Amino acid sequence: MASESASPLSSSASEAWHTLHASSVAEKFDVSMGHGLQLDEASRRIVSYGTNEIREKPARPAWRMLLDQFADFMIVALIVAAIISGVLGDLKDTVAIVVIVVLNAVIGFVQELRAEKAMAALKQMAATNAVVLRAGERVTIPSSEVVPGDIVLLEAGNVVPADLRLNSAVQLKIDEAPLTGEAVTVEKHDEPLPDPALSLGDRKNMAYKGTTATYGRGSGVVVATGMATELGKIAALLDMDGKLKTPLQQRLARFGRRLALVVLAMCVIVFLVGLLQGEEPLLMLLTSVSLAVAAIPEALPAIVSISLALGARKMVSRHALIRNLPAVETLGSVTYICTDKTGTLTENRMQVEKIYADGSVLREWREFPRAKLWQMLFTGLALSNDASRSGEGQTSGDPTEVALYMVALEAGYDKAILEKTAERVFELPFDSDRKRMTTFHSMDGGLVAYTKGAPEAILPRCISAACDRGQSPVDSEELLAVADSMAEEGLRVIAMAYRNWDSLPKDTAAEAIESDLVFLGLIGMMDPPRTEARDSVSLCKSAGIVPVMITGDHAATARAIARQIGIASEKDAVVTGPQLASMDDETVRKKIREIRVYARVDPAQKIRIVEALQQQGEFVAMTGDGVNDAPALKRANIGVAMGKGGTDVAREASSLVLLDDNFATIVSAVREGRRIFDNILKFIKYTMTSNSAEIWVIFLAPFLGLPVPLLPIHILWINLLTDGLPGLALAAEPEEKGIMQRPPRPPQESIFANGMWQHIVWIGLVIAGVTLFSQAWAIYMASSHWQTMVFTVLTLAQMAQAMAIRSERESLFTQGLFSNVPLLGAVLLTFLLQMATIYLPFMNAVFNTMPLTVGELLFCLVLSSIVFFVVEMEKWMIRKGWIFGPAT
């Protein structure tokens, strides 16, 4: 028997169970609806199919994760530099480099460990217990023991333990928001559905693992367990290797490889030229090796890590928690934000938006017209309601009922007060076939029956319509047209009617009671957009970021929300999941940049959208809060999850968590990401210009007939002193003006674009020029301090450059000297340390320096300050548009 039932399970991933009669499904699984599986058969099936659990990918060993942190080219280069420094006897530099390498590895290792929690969080979503029929009896078993063919019994509050084809549904409602993203609970039934291509949210006769029954009761045949369930498919998608390098990591990797080749060539040339000039081979070897160490910006990984860490700390104060440090920088390069709707752009609660009655539309009910019509309508909304309110003011119940309860309460109609004089004496609960419900209330010596439900189920049963004059003829077709118009606005429409009775009728059948009704009104509700969402979307667009909505909700709702907040215009169409499934990959690639709204999509399609954008060279952020969002969050360049309303799975799969569930927070995070990336680029510009200046000084001196200008200890000191503190201080630089009015940097763009490499070359030559001029002048003046002067000019010129490059375009005189106090302090400290090498006797011995005269020191200060004014002139020319520079 077990072998006979293997076929349904093996095809469960693709079988359209919702198109079959429940009896046919039971027959396929060889199970009796009223009896369930025999105990021995259940035991055989769990052996055949495995436990009903989400399987985790075997985690990489901790040692492997740690070892992988040292695989980066720049890290290898730093390790080589540390070894060389140690051989040269410079243990301080060796220790500094080792500390930097270890710090970088530890940060990456911790990030890897935290990422492994995503699968564990998904596994914990499974129900701990399930009630099933076994051998004709109700038994409670661990959900992991549920097998295909089991008959599962559901009641309100139960978490669905596996994917079920429902065979009974008595007023059963299931919250599928974590799986589909739809805010409204889904009313279930057991009838077959003809369309095999229906999305998950439209399969009303199915119940899926990990969702929750909120109302009613039902039962169903298990058609898939474990990894074969829809939740399991998501786990499989999460299991895919989706780790991507950030834009900066990609750029630095390319930069490191090229730098190594250039430095190697320069060192060979310096060594050979020195030998040709008669310098000692050992001195030239040490000089060449020192130059190689100096040319490698060993502080770069530390500066990048510290910049990201400081940025992450700052973001927490703005309600954004960074789970993966490189994500801070990635935010600055994001070109597309693919955002979920429910709970991200919307408030994740139903709210009444408009009420139609007697030809009028009401949008504000706190001061509504006090006509009898409106009083009856709000009284009915309050009384025919199953929502309840606790003593602490918390309202609970079905989201639709809560919305109707709240609109009546806001209008001044408190259900608790009204029920004291209008007690509910009878009711016909909501039924998915009838699509309506009715409650009877004792009132004014008689009974009033309030009926509410779908407009198409209420209006044909109305014989008149309430109005200010009492009652008027009802035009059902006109009212249905109004309801359709409201639905096109993305509203879920409920119709309300009533009927007076002298006493409770003897025939309490629905057909008898729910007839000859008097129409009261149409109530349109929706999950409203967040108040700040429109401004946030607008700011994203001004920053060159394209917002795209991807939701599992209905197309009309998605279109309405997208237009309200500015994601889509009137001419933008909505692409649904079935439409997307019908497109081949080539069509998707061609249209992907034109589509702004996707509706009724499944988790795999979300990944397809993200990947299609990435194939077009875009850097994609994906925001979301549900389990259905987790695979796309992981696959995107940066996943952004909701911290308050989101699931653990979404949070663990993401790089950034919004602690206030506010879409606007991501805009703040993007702003901070851009600032950090700008500052990292400033450090790269600063350190590479400084390093290139050192290389030019050593390289050009022999060709100018000058002796080797610096000793190895000088090169290492300059490199260590100038790269460290000023580099860290540049990380604290405030954001540039107009930072959110410029497009993102193209992800494939080199870090040396926008005039950076030209700056590095020509400012490096300027620094080298003033340094070599000081050497030539001192030698010409027969000064024995010439090497100390070269050493001092080169160090102070780099400090002048650090002050000047604080902004890409603005002058320091506009910014203000004290707008970055840490950098000012770093420059002053570097100046004092340099003076110590000149004027402290024990430092003279270490660095082979001599005290300079006042005139010589002033000469060095004047020469080094030239660099500051040259960089300021460069920025002035950029502002004038005379030379190419960074975009505004």
What is the per-residue pLDDT across 238-272, written as a single tens digit (0 to 9) for each?
654 444 455 666 666 667 667 777 777 877 887 88
- What is the distance between the alpha carbons of residues 579 and 812, in angstroms, rounded to a whole number? 55
Please tell me the distance from the alpha carbon of residue 334 to that of residue 321, in angstroms, as a whole number: 17
Task: State which fold the 6-49+127-235 domain adopts.
Answer: 2.70.150
The string of DSSP codes covering 566-605 is TSS-TTPPEEEHHHHHHS-HHHHHHHTTT--EEES--HHH
Q: List 164's β-bridge partners, or say none.
A: 207, 222
- What residues contact residue 473 under an 8 Å CB cut-off, 6+ apart? 464, 465
Q: Which two tokens stand for residue 28?
A: 């396929």
Which DSSP letter does residue 60 get?
A: P
What does the DSSP assignment read for 490-557? T-EEEEEEEEEESS--S---HHHHS-SEEEEEEEEEE-PBPTTHHHHHHHHHHTT-EEEEE-SS-HHH
**Given 1.20.1250.20, 1.10.3470.10, 1.10.1740.10, 1.20.1110.10, which CATH number is that of 247-319+668-736+744-880?**
1.20.1110.10
Structure tokens at 436: 């309506």
**How confident is the model over 766-785, as pLDDT tens digits?**
999 999 999 999 999 999 99
Within this chain, domains 330-347+530-661 and 351-526 share the same CATH topology: no
| pTM of full prediction above 0.75 | no
- Which of 228-237, 268-277, 716-725, 810-819: highest mean pLDDT? 810-819
**Given the residues 150, 175, 340, 527, the one annotated as active site:** 340
Q: What was the pLDDT predicted at 121?
A: 46
Beta bridge partners of 354: 524
Residue whose tokens read 């910014």: 815
| Of 562, 549, 563, 551, nearest in space to 599 by CA | 551
Q: Give Rg (Cα) of the chain.
A: 36
The bridge status of strand 129-134 relative to strand 186-187 is: unpaired
Residue 241 confidence (pLDDT): 46
CATH of 330-347+530-661, one of 1.10.760.10, 3.40.50.1000, 1.10.510.10, 3.30.70.3340: 3.40.50.1000
Query: How far apart are the C-alpha atoms of 314 and 657, rounded to whole Å?
Result: 14
Residue 127 banded pLDDT, cuts 50, 70, 90: very low
Stretch 167-191: mean pLDDT: 83
- pLDDT at res. 699: 79
User: What pLDDT, on the 0 to 100 scale, is given for residue 242?
Assistant: 45
Annotated catalytic, 340? yes
The predicted model gives 681-687 an average pLDDT of: 88
Question: Is 70 exceeded by the pLDDT of residue 658?
Answer: yes
The predicted structure's pLDDT at residue 573: 87
- Better-scored residue on pLDDT, 63 or 385: 385
Q: What percent of the chain has pLDDT over 90?
A: 40
The more confident residue out of 286 and 389 is: 389
For residue 597, with 0-12 CB atoms within 10 Å meaning exposed, 13-18 middle and 19 or more buried, which class applies?
buried
Indicate whether 59 pLDDT > 70.
no
The burial of 40, by beta-carbon neighbours within 10 Å (0-12 exposed, 13-18 middle, 19 or more buried), is given as exposed
Q: H or E segment at 163?
A: strand 163-175
3-state secondary structure 697-736: HHHHHHHCCCCCCCCHHHHHHHHHHHHHHHHHHHCCCCCC
Per-residue 3-state assignment (H helix, E strand, C coil) for 194-214: CCCCCCHHHCCCEECCCCEEE
Domain borders along the chain are: 6-49+127-235, 62-115, 247-319+668-736+744-880, 330-347+530-661, 351-526
347-381: b or e for each residue (b if 16 or more CB lie within 10 Å)?
bbbbebbbbbbbeeebeebeebeebebbebbbbbb
Q: What is the mean pLDDT of the chain?
A: 83
Amino acid 343: pLDDT: 74
Backbone angles phi, psi at 451, to 5 degrees: -120, 130
Residue pLDDT, tens place only, 577-631: 999 999 999 999 999 999 999 998 877 788 899 999 999 989 899 887 767 677 7
Between residues 382 and 177, the one the model is more confident about = 382
Contact criterion met (CB below 8 Å) for 774 and 859: yes
Does position 479 have pLDDT exceeding 90, yes or no? Answer: yes
163 near 224, Cβ under 8 Å? yes
Contact between 704 and 772 under an 8 Å Cβ cutoff? The reply is yes
Residue with tokens 């600055």: 332
User: Is the pLDDT score of 564 beyond 70?
Assistant: yes
Which has the higher per-residue pLDDT, 286 or 537?
Answer: 537
The dihedral sign for the CA sequence 691, 695, 697, 700: negative
- Among residues 723, 833, 701, the alpha carbon closest in space to that of 769 is found at 701
pLDDT band at 77; cut points 50, 70, 90: low
CATH of 351-526, one of 2.60.120.10, 2.30.40.10, 3.30.310.10, 3.40.1110.10: 3.40.1110.10
**Tens digit of each residue's pLDDT (9 = 90 or more) over 786-808:** 999 999 999 999 999 999 999 98
CA neighbor of 199 nearest in space, from 614, 541, 598, 572: 598
Percent of the chain with pLDDT over 70: 84
Residues 392-410 have a mean pLDDT of 87
Say yes or no to pLDDT of 520 above 50. Answer: yes
The pLDDT value recorded for residue 72 is 58
